[in-house]
Amino acid sequence: MRLMRSTDMALRVLMRLAVAGESSPTTREVAADMGVPYTHAAKVVAELQHRGLVETRRGRGGGLSLTEKGRGASVGGLVRSLEGEGDVADCEGATPCPLNTDCRLRGALRRAQEAFYASLDPLTVADMVAPPTGPLLLGLPAARRPS
């Protein structure tokens, strides 16, 4: 299973904000830190704000911050909601599979997908930035700044 690019980006933005401390990086700064296009990051930040996971402030002294809801959010729940309710295999696509009514593979894939989500359910965004990841994230902006 492969995550959509927007889901991957959302998780990385949340992790970056989880280590921001008192600073409030801008969307542009977070995009640069994560090595993603600003326009994509702006869409992801807007979705995260809509979900109550991120707060945004405009103007001088503005920026992004992670909410308590965002810090404690289940990674499994986030991935599940961001990815949507689709099957791993496209059994009913433009050319439906002739086996889709009695296929054992479809059920096995659905169970595997749920096991994937279930393994992420107990993990929070805060858990994802425990050492060694958090310190590595803190080092990203400095590594990208010109000397």
Q: How far, rounded to the nearest angstrom, does the alpha carbon of residue 70 sit from its chain's CA centroid? A: 11
pLDDT digits (tens, 9 = 90+) for 57-78: 988 878 999 999 999 999 999 9
> Which residue is associated with the tokens 């729940």?
77
Dihedrals φ, ψ of 56, to 5°? -120, 140
Give the number of other CB atoms < 10 A from CB of residue 89.
Answer: 15
CB–CB of 34/44 below 8 Å?
no
Residue 26 DSSP label: -
pLDDT digits (tens, 9 = 90+) for 114-123: 999 999 999 9
Mean pLDDT value of segment 116-136: 91
d(CA 87, CA 96): 13
d(CA 134, CA 15): 8
CB–CB of 26/141 below 8 Å?
no
d(CA 128, CA 147): 30
pLDDT, residue 83, reads 92
pLDDT, residue 28, reads 92
Range in 6-15, 101-110, 124-133 with the lowest mean pLDDT: 101-110
pLDDT digits (tens, 9 = 90+) for 1-59: 789 999 999 999 999 999 988 889 999 999 988 888 999 999 999 999 999 999 999 88
